Homo-oligomer: A and B are copies of this chain.
Amino acid sequence: MMQRTVPEGRPANGGRKVAARNREALVAAAREIYAEQGLDAPLSAIARRAGVGQGVLYRHFPERADMATAVLEENVRQVEQAAEAVPLDGVLGVLTWHLTESAAFIGLLHADGAGGRSHAYARVLSGRVERALRRRLPDGHRLAGGDDLMLAIAMVSGAVTGADRRERERRAATAWRLLGVEVGPVRPFEG
């Protein structure tokens, strides 16, 4: 049988299927790179890690923040799913896991906005986190009033920033304790 040769110099164009796969690969790569290098990591590093060209990255995420937002989006979705399934302390455990693992979570919820599309979207995501938690929040809970809930999250986030992975988890635990809040096991949500 003859060997079919791939025409040289013409990169494969996989069509729609590949496009979706690329998007996922980019988000996954971004999650890793952000964790390793922080949110300021060069976009080229993400594209490289994802195994795609820079152009693809721009096609899927035209603004720099879109990339980070996409990672955050996934995190938020997990928190929402957890809120469907487990009581408050469990949800907080999942949330805490994301706080300690994912640079995107902290960095973006914190982002002092110049505004812009993705800043607005970060606020949307922030609202989704709040709603997800609040449905599990019993009346009269310590954090039930005003924006105490989101503030507490920001505080835990503040407690963990700047430390290495192991230390982050320890600090998160202490921080919640100082807030007088019970937190379940710190781990990702698995349906």
Contacts and interface: CB of A to CB of B under 8 A. Distances in A.
B151 A171 contact: yes
State which size class the interface on A falls in: 35 or more
Interface in A1-58: 1-2, 37-38, 40-42
Given A161-B112, A162-B111, A164-B112, A2 B40 contact: yes
Contacts of A113: 162
A110 B174 contact: no
Contact of A42 (B1, B143, B175): B1
Contacts of A109: 162
A84 interface: no
B2 A64 contact: yes
A148 interface: yes
A106 interface: yes
A137 interface: no
A163 B157 CA distance: 15
